Chain A
Amino acid sequence: MSKKERIVAAIENGTVIDHIPAEKTYEVANLLKISEIDTPVTIGSNYISKKLGKKGIIKVEDKYFSDAEISQLSVVAHRVVLNIIHDYEVVEKKTVTLPDRLLGIVKCNNPKCITNNEPMSTYFTVVDKLSPHPELRCRYCDKVQDIDKVELCK
């Protein structure tokens, strides 16, 4: 493991979220409810990144996120990497990939869609998920929306 990686991952146990697009760092922190966590947390932004230009990193000690929490991340930052740390070692790297479907995560931006008019979950299928700008198609009204412009369900 290189010195650079050790600096980033220098916590004993917990999760290091890496490769967050810099402008999404605080959105990711909000989504993961970082402010409610009572273990030590470090949020860093605007690190130089070869892949992203500038990136954010969030380190959370003694905390591991569920798959449901991770899948939410994929909507705002679909290339992030979660490093799972045990005893200062990266034991697992989880890549956040967009699932084929998003249930109850994103709001439909069509005000006439049934999901905005009934107490129910939204349901989107991901169109062309390997593209740099994947789109989401609402299962109910069929409207397609840009993943970079979505609003999350409350």
Chain B
Amino acid sequence: MTFGRNFGKKCLTLHQIVKKAYFSIMKEQDFVTIADLSKEEIMYLLEMAKEFELHPNREILKGRVVATLFFEPSTRTRLSFETAANRLGARVIGFSDAKVTSATKGETLKDTILMVSNYADVIVMRHHIEGAAQYASEIAPVPIVNAGDGAHMHPSQCLLDLYSIYKTQGTLDNLNIYLVGDLKYGRTVHSLITAMRHFNPTFHFVAPKELAMPDEYKTYCKDHGITFEEHTDFNEEVIKDADILYMTRVQKERFSDLMEYERVKNVYILKRDMLCKAKDNMRILHPLPRVNEIAYDVDDDPHAYYIQQAGNGLFAREAIFCHTLGITLEDVRNDKTII
């Protein structure tokens, strides 16, 4: 099964045509966005992640070299990608700080990507500039995996969120999903809305007015027949019907009015007593890092799932590596390299 979504609707340069032809033979592809994946494609990747959860340690990528180029700092995402590569037998090169690279000497992204393409079979990149991964995918002869491009996209986080929801609920269909906190700037909640459009969700947006869900995403919901409700209160009554409670951090630097921040900063903190009416199947997700938006006593509650969620990132990213390198779900199921 090949997806090939990155070449559908654009004018191609000669280089891109060559890359497309090569990718179609080798079944390799970029993983830059999750926004235009079909329902079947999402389920395919989740099934692959499930296989990796059963057997995370293999040598299916033995002999391959993965480059992780982190122009912007990250803890979880980088470690999880590097662990995924290591557990599949690949070797990893890269950097975790752009300050140690030639980018500080003024090297363009294009030159860095083309140079690294000489060494690696796949490039995982995080960059603070929006659209950097899309551009890299257009110039690199090897697959590009977007590990976050500024406030724009973070598709591997979205895939692990979907996997966490699928795993805990047994389905992605017809769920009540509550998004709490910073809904204005939080790219993870925006990606989740677009990825969930295939699954008939009901969303509840719980946020202060300053950080409310932007109109463009509410319009998106209406255009795609997604039901949603908005709340400014956050208490046990509001969340009692939730299947998924997706928490995000209300960041002080997002407020133009600090008085407003002081007023709302404690309103969107999840405390254990707020879970008294929660459904048994409800699970609390958070993209992490958490600062104070989930009280520490919630960690011991059976609804808490955010640490396991981060663990699911490993399986999702193992699936992403194989998918980008042309290894199919069937190959993974028939893999003889399991350790």
Contact = CB atoms under 8 A, between A and B. Distances in A.
Interface of A: 101, 103, 110, 112-115, 117-120, 123, 125, 138-144
10 contacts: A103-B11, A113-B129, A117-B109, A118-B108, A118-B135, A119-B108, A119-B110, A120-B110, A140-B134, A144-B216
B27 interface: no
Contacts of B129: 112-114, 117
A117 B152 CA distance: 15
Contacts of A103: 11
Contacts of A143: 130
Q: Which A-B residue pairs are the 6 nearest by beta carbons?
A: A140-B131, A141-B130, A114-B131, A141-B131, A114-B135, A114-B132
Contacts, number: 50
A79 B138 CA distance: 33
Interface of B: 9-11, 108-110, 128-132, 134-135, 149-152, 216
B134 A139 contact: yes
Nearest to A110: B130
Contacts of A118: 108-110, 135
Given A118-B108, A119-B108, A141-B152, A112 B130 contact: yes
A141 B131 CA distance: 5
B110 A114 contact: no
A25 B177 CA distance: 52
Contacts of B149: 114
Nearest to A123: B10
A140 B11 CA distance: 14
A139 B10 contact: yes
B11 A113 contact: no
A47 B150 CA distance: 48
Nearest to A140: B131
Contacts of B134: 114, 139-140
Given A112-B130, A118-B109, A141-B152, A101 B135 contact: no
B106 to A, nearest CB: 11
B131 A138 contact: yes
A142 B151 CA distance: 11
Contacts of A120: 110, 135
A112 B187 CA distance: 15
B108 A113 contact: no
Contacts of A140: 130-131, 134-135
Contacts of B131: 113-115, 138-142
Contacts of B150: 112, 141
Nearest to B132: A114
B333 to A, nearest CB: 35
A103 B12 CA distance: 12
